[in-house]
Structure 1
């Protein structure tokens, strides 16, 4: 099956703490910069967003040439039905993907949990962050259907 006919079915839930010192709209902007298709809502002390595509996020990974880093982070918290990862809130405000590792930032991190329904988790990870060789995606057409 070619990449353009493959159906991807995922649910991604994004949670970000919002502290009293922060402007909720700015936190929403940070999420929207990386996940423009996400529907956001405010809950006590946090912003919650949901999306069914990570393609715009994948585009950022390709632009920043951090596919290998993304694959490592996705693999770090992988499970049978999906994977989780954390991002730096401040970087997201600038429209930049910066994975959060170690202790959370003072204002908290953007936490993303992805449940993959179709196809497998490994195939979906290959879709959004394809394997690379010499820093380039192994399949150069892997991102062509989203441009």
Structure 2
């Protein structure tokens, strides 16, 4: 199946932070993203979430990820927020509740092909007993 998505990642850079460390946090989870420095923030764009999906599988947090994606889903896509400090360590940790004082990494996904639901199932497939049901995709 062909996937057509635009992913926009925005990470605030506070005065007390080193910009390169924030860039590393984004790149750790989205290695294909092209980063640009803007006033007070980093903005990145990519057209794949496969490396991010790999992390979700490795950390065995597919159900959590799917719940987070569903919370802010629209007809055009979905969005979610990640903790910056965990991302710096290469770990996916969804930001829930109040934003971190350094700000969270906001991710906005626009899905053109296939449907939003099909794309969510691709990157965070439904599980049974903690294992992805879609065995064609991964182990």
Partner of residue 126, structure 1 = 121
- Divergent runs of 4+, >2 A: none
Asked if 1:42 is matched to 2:6, the reply is: no
Flag structure 2 segments of 5+ consecutive residues without an equivalent: none
Structure 1 residue 141: Cα displacement: 2.1
Paired residue for 2:77?
82
Deviation at 1:11, TM superposition (A): 0.1
1:143 to partner: Cα distance:
2.9
* Aligned match for 2:130, one of 113, 132, 135: 135
Given the two structures, how large is their TM-score scaled by the length of structure 2? Answer: 0.98
- Provide the TM-score with structure 1 as the length reference: 0.93
Quote the offset at 1:107 in angstroms.
0.1
RMSD: 0.7
- Deviation per residue, 1:19-58 (Å, 9 max, x gap): 1110100000000000000000011000000000000000
Distance in 1 between the 2:81 and 2:20 partners? 20
Q: How many residues align?
A: 139
3-state SS, counterpart of residue 53 of structure 1: coil
Q: Which runs of 5+ in 1 are unaligned?
A: 1-5
1:53-68 equivalences in 2 (<5 Å): 53-68=48-63
Question: How far apart in 1 are the matches of 2:57 and 2:31?
Answer: 16
